Amino acid sequence: MKAVIFDMDGVLIDSEPLYHHVEMKIFKELNLVISDEEYFSFTGNSSYYMWNKLKEKYKLSQEVDVLAENLRKSYYTYLVSIKDKLQPIEGVIELLEKLKASNIKMAVASSSPMEVIEAVMNMFHLNEYFSVLVTGDMVPESKPSPDIFLLAAKKLGVEPSSCLVIEDSYNGVMAAKAANMSCIGYMNLNSGNQDLSAADLVVNSLKEILNINML
């Protein structure tokens, strides 16, 4: 492997409970009753993708752009307000240090907007590890399309087949495999019951990755 591409939400930061808090509040305001199964089916997708699906299904009157921007602003405000209570997921820093010492290129490829990605990078002092930050806003299709990972590989200057992706969602794993990349699925319980079986390896802790031969 010449490069490792990290998803952010659920891999670098345990953000799914934060999104859940904000989104459930917005769903309540819109009188939407969303089942856990439907909710977690959007894990790894962009806010625009989610709201497109919800608008179509529940005949929402609001425009997708308005719904998505409201969610993004609400989430960013909430994230910043509790930043002192947050930590990177256990094992992240050790893994990043190992990759850096091995001169492995690293990128973040997240469906979150760049404002949120940069906030997380600054919050946990992660900028020194990542030479490339890619958001779902930069590509035509959201995960499970491979677009975001292919763009990250291009920006890193590495062939997709030489990249390893670390993901916590079904959509992310499918996107990585569609991009012809190796993939480790991280079973984050807060990301819901995600089917990671298409990944080359599934781990329950990021610390497990430190000793594998894929790196």
pLDDT at 50 (0 to 100) = 94
How confident is the model over 98-117, as pLDDT tens digits?
Answer: 999 999 999 999 999 999 99
pLDDT at 16 (0 to 100) = 86
How confident is the model over 144-165, as pLDDT tens digits?
Answer: 999 999 999 999 999 999 999 9
What length does the chain have? 215
Q: What is the pTM of this model?
A: 0.91
Boundaries of domain holding 24: 16-83
CATH number of the domain that residue 113 is part of: 3.40.50.1000
Same domain, residue pair 111 and 34: no
Mean pLDDT of 80-88: 94
* Greatest CA separation for the chain: 52
- Domain boundary (83, 116, 141) is at 83
How confident is the model over 38-76, as pLDDT tens digits?
Answer: 999 998 888 999 999 999 999 999 999 999 999 999 999
Task: Judge whether 92 and 115 are in contact, CB under 8 Å.
Answer: no
